[in-house]
Structure 1
Amino acid sequence: MVGHDPVSTRVGNTLYEMVGPQLTERFREEAGGETMPGDTILVEGLRGLPSNAVFFLNLSPWDDDQEGGAVQVKLMFYSSLHHDTVFPMSSLLNELNSDLFQVLRLGINTILTSCEERGFGSVALPVLGAGIALRFPDSLVAKVLREEVHKFEQNRNSRTPMLINIVIHPNDEDSCEVFKSAQEAFQLRGFTKDVHQPYGVSTSKRIVLLGKTGSGKSNLANTIFGEKLFTTNDSPNSGTSTCQAETKSVNGRSITLIDTPGFFDTREGEEDLKPEIVSCITECSPGPHAFLIVLKVDKFTEHEQAVITKICQYFSKDALKYAVIVFTHGDQLPKGKKIEDFVNQNKKLSDLVESCGGRCHVIDNRYWNNKVQNNYRSNQFQVEELLNTVDKMVMENNGGYYVNQVFEAVEKEIQKEEDLIRQSAGNMPVEEVRKQAKSTVSNRFLINLAGTTTGVLLGAFCGVRAMVGLVITALQNSPVAMNFLKKIPALGGAAAAAVAGGGEVAVVAAGAAAGVTLAAAGGVWGGVIGRDAAEGAETLSEAVDMAANAVYNKGKKIVRF
């Protein structure tokens, strides 16, 4: 704000339009009197705002006009800093403007510190002072902002993440260019150690759709986007067979939807899913902002119960913090009922939704395509409600995305590959560089994990700690891991076995009743052997053959067939 006036800037006026006179009333209550440059006033509890609080920072205008109230205010402030000192007017203004920047630095630091002390998970800073009211130089504001944010990050003691956004008006092209250059300099100087969004990663919200074949994942994706971008098939053999990702703007949000095959099918032949699980991990790297677990509004037979059991088996509690249950075939919902009523009729389903923070929505891809707003049985209404839930969930997760060691390892490899591509490809577009890097890393990881079971990969993807650790172990193949794996046969006599049949070779975990430990041990045992054997492979099929033969031969020495 300019001086002590909370509605003296475009941002202040916009806030006033949103909440009305309560803005100035609450401001006067909190200020208690006049404020000086550098003072901050925190106003909380403004009804009608999507944020918890607003900070008002008192600044004096930056200009070289030697007449008018702006300079008078600045001179009053300057005289409080330099008593009885005489300067030529030009020198005085230069010194004064320098002091104003120190005030800006102090204000930014005060705001960030206050946010941390109050436990705020995020803060949005406009380009402070660079508007038409205060006229601070864009380049200097960018410098101050990035330096103060970096200083705050370096000095803070809390390990709790806090998301700091710099908000630029879409028409402010000058500030956009300045901050784009500043961000590049920020990264080149090594300030991106803990920055939320890695270089080259899209700022879209990455949303993964999960469910069994025929649940309506692809149709749901098309409904969200409002056009048919994902392949659907109504034949008896319907179902997504490969991982597909598309990006589009929806109601002012940039959304990337990642459609997947039936990861939670209870059918046999799950080995076919391994390439798609790996592809999904790389496609949504560095991690998804949300999982949409897709189910049908339908009677719950043993098959549906088995799917829910499998979801609960593979998802960790951490991953469920990022999950929303979405029901399709909403026309099956009895009239007058909401989806929460349907959920409460089944204990296991109710428990699953509760594990996801109570987040559930319903869509009908065929009959709810009307344009009536605020109608529960309208896809337009339900899509907006769903995206609002995702927005709220992301905020509750401190603006972050879901990540575990597997995603971290994949992202690290993707960034390494991006560096190599940029060195050799010159001015290739950022999007193309990342696309090529993802493809290369996906193939490499698939070869390394050729001997790992599908269940272990899926568990690692969904955050089961044991599975995550075992996949990382298989990838790294460290001496410590090998010493651990040598003890695996003692876990149950037949921790893992290589079974040949029908021309196929697969790694399976023996003794299913022994639970996750033996299953995971068998998977990683095969994974490490397979990785070692397939290291020199040039193609996926060659890697699979080499890994399978190695696991089979090792298995014969441990287990009696």
Structure 2
Amino acid sequence: MDKSTTIRILLLGKSGNGKSSLANTIFGETAFKVKNFNDLKTFVSEAKIKCINGRSITLIDTPGFFDQGRSEDEVKPELMRCITECAPGPHVFLIVFKVERYTEQEQAVTNEILQYFSDDALKYAVVVFTHGDQLPEGMKIEQYVSQSEGLRGLVKKCGDRCHVFDCKYWKNTEQEDNYRSNQFQVAELLVTIDKMLMKNTGEFYTNAVLSEVEREIQEEAQRIRLSSKTTSEEEIRELAKINILKKQMKGATLWIKGSVVAVTGLFAAVSAWVISSRVGQTSTVVALPNQEILDQGFREIAESVVKAEEAIVPLIVKAGEEVGQTTVSVTDVAETGAWVIFEALTALYERTYDPYNLFV
């Protein structure tokens, strides 16, 4: 593999497993913010580049895609950003676990990773354990892995590649036991990665989605390149990624808009329900007319309206005043309120859009 090629390393695992601390340990500096519980709801994928031992390495830290209770709709936007950051594909997956009992929950995380990226991803994967202070004295991580059938099977599928770190207690490089030193483990991890890259002939993991995103990034980069002769290639690619991500998210918004056009009556029912519950006006639609026909997509639209009440409710009230009524009917909402709500949502989205912090 060409030494000038940047190695893209994607960290995956549950929230709280120590991905950000591990990334800082690999870089030898505080490049990534270590999140607390309050940060987890707004945490988005983050990419940093550093030269280590003459090699350019990009670490991509990710939120807990695979946390229990996270819906697919919550995961999709952030997964989109993650894919944009690591396109055309990662050279290395670091699958991060704590040194603790390997339960069905941890197995479920592994299964979800493979659902998103396929079994082929394990050819590019290293299993990394954090909280190494929990490792029994004198035991190495390979011995620990051998005690669990689930872990043993996963590590075997990853080419028997595994390492252990402790970001709290193993910082001192003057350890009596070199094995329990983060400096030693980082050096060993980089050796493992180099061996894996050689085995994979320098290739990176990719799939149809990653390839398509990379194609779009390159096309956008060419457009930027032609319009700006002074922008560096690094800046051009970053701008291209931001623009593509914004385009993808707007595409999702337009899809919702198309759905509203197709079923204005149903959307009106949802709108009237929101108006009656948030504004306090009486409505001919006190409850949703038919629970069975209200699909999950429109329930989420209603919830979005409620969350954005400060921007939207005044506009809804104004819409009611414009039709000269204190009672809001389904027809009224269909004609005025539905599009007022949607346009308000769109305006709110465009004003607050931040590609590094989607849907806060």
Corresponding position: 1:264 with 2:105 = no
**Alpha-carbon contact 1:443-1:540 (below 8 Å) kept:** no
SS in 2 for 1:255: strand
**Alpha-carbon contact 2:12-2:95 (below 8 Å) kept:** yes
> Could you say what the CA RMSD is over the residues aligned between the two structures, in angstroms?
2.9
Q: CA deviation at 1:325?
A: 0.7
1:273 pairs with 51, 60, 75, which one? 75
Corresponding position: 1:427 with 2:230 = yes
Aligned residue in 2 for 1:413: 216
**What is the alpha-carbon distance in structure 1 between the residues aligned to residue 187 and residue 58 of structure 2?**
16
Aligned residue in 1 for 2:33: 231
Corresponding position: 1:381 with 2:181 = no
SS in 1 for 2:179: coil
**What is the alpha-carbon distance in structure 1 between the residues aligned to residue 211 and residue 168 of structure 2?**
39
SS in 1 for 2:188: helix
**What is the alpha-carbon distance in structure 1 between the residues aligned to residue 215 and residue 110 of structure 2?**
33
Aligned residue in 2 for 1:311: 113
Q: CA deviation at 1:286?
A: 1.7
Aligned residue in 1 for 2:194: 391
**Alpha-carbon contact 1:214-1:239 (below 8 Å) kept:** no
**Alpha-carbon contact 2:102-2:151 (below 8 Å) kept:** no
Aligned residue in 2 for 1:367: 169
**What is the alpha-carbon distance in structure 2 between the residues aligned to residue 203 and residue 420 of structure 1?**
24
Aligned residue in 2 for 1:335: 137
Question: Quick one: which amino acid aligns to residue 348 of structure 1?
Answer: G
**Alpha-carbon contact 1:375-1:381 (below 8 Å) kept:** yes
Give the TM-score normalised by the residue count of structure 2.
0.68
Q: CA deviation at 1:447?
A: 3.4
Query: What whole-Å deviation, never above 9, does each CA across 1:366-410 have from its counterpart, x for those lacking one?
Result: 011121488110000000111111111111111111112211111
Corresponding position: 1:442 with 2:245 = yes
SS in 2 for 1:406: helix
Q: CA deviation at 1:239?
A: 7.6
**What is the alpha-carbon distance in structure 2 between the residues aligned to residue 397 and residue 246 of structure 1?**
24
Give the TM-score normalised by the residue count of structure 1.
0.45
SS in 1 for 2:180: coil
Q: CA deviation at 1:299?
A: 2.1
2:93 pairs with 291, 299, 316, which one? 291
**What is the alpha-carbon distance in structure 2 between the residues aligned to residue 342 and residue 236 of structure 1?**
32
Q: Structure 1 pair 429/396, CA: closer, same or farther in 2 (3 Å)?
A: same
Query: What aligned pairs does 1:91-490 form with structure 2 within 5 A after superposition?
Result: 203-235=5-37, 238=40, 241-372=43-174, 375-448=178-251
Q: Structure 1 pair 330/451, CA: closer, same or farther in 2 (3 Å)?
A: farther
Q: CA deviation at 1:449?
A: 5.0
SS in 2 for 1:233: coil
Q: Which has the higher helix share?
A: 2
Question: Quick one: which amino acid aligns to residue 159 of structure 2?
Answer: G
SS in 1 for 2:9: strand
Query: What whole-Å deviation, never above 9, does each CA across 1:524-558 have from its counterpart, x for those lacking one?
Result: xxxxxxxxxx9xx977948xxxxxxxxxxxxxxxx
**What is the alpha-carbon distance in structure 1 between the residues aligned to residue 100 and residue 17 of structure 2?**
10
Q: CA deviation at 1:268?
A: 2.9
Q: CA deviation at 1:315?
A: 3.9
**What is the alpha-carbon distance in structure 1 between the residues aligned to residue 139 and residue 171 of structure 2?**
19
Q: Structure 1 pair 451/364, CA: closer, same or farther in 2 (3 Å)?
A: farther
Query: What whole-Å deviation, never above 9, does each CA across 1:166-204 have from its counterpart, x for those lacking one?
Result: x8xxxxxxxxxxxxxxxxxxxxxxxxxxxxxxxxxx821
Q: CA deviation at 1:270?
A: 4.2
Which protein has greater RCO, CA pairs closer than 8 Å, 6+ apart? Answer: 2
Query: What whole-Å deviation, never above 9, does each CA across 1:348-378 have from its counterpart, x for those lacking one?
Result: 2221111111111111000111214881100
**Alpha-carbon contact 2:7-2:58 (below 8 Å) kept:** yes
- Work out the percentage of aligned pairs sharing the same amino acid: 53
Q: Structure 1 pair 272/539, CA: closer, same or farther in 2 (3 Å)?
A: farther
**What is the alpha-carbon distance in structure 1 between the residues aligned to residue 39 and residue 244 of structure 2?**
31
**Alpha-carbon contact 1:362-1:382 (below 8 Å) kept:** yes
Q: Structure 1 pair 410/360, CA: closer, same or farther in 2 (3 Å)?
A: same
**What is the alpha-carbon distance in structure 1 between the residues aligned to residue 215 and residue 242 of structure 2?**
14
Larger radius of gyration: 1
Q: CA deviation at 1:450?
A: 6.1
Q: Structure 1 pair 236/297, CA: closer, same or farther in 2 (3 Å)?
A: farther
Structure 2 unaligned residues grouped into runs of 5+: 256-294, 305-341, 351-360
Question: Quick one: which amino acid aligns to residue 383 of structure 1?
Answer: V
Q: Structure 1 pair 446/323, CA: closer, same or farther in 2 (3 Å)?
A: farther
Q: CA deviation at 1:451?
A: 9.6
**What is the alpha-carbon distance in structure 2 between the residues aligned to residue 222 and residue 309 of structure 1?**
27
SS in 2 for 1:361: strand
Aligned residue in 2 for 1:82: none
**What is the alpha-carbon distance in structure 2 between the residues aligned to residue 450 and residue 379 of structure 1?**
45
**Alpha-carbon contact 1:219-1:232 (below 8 Å) kept:** yes
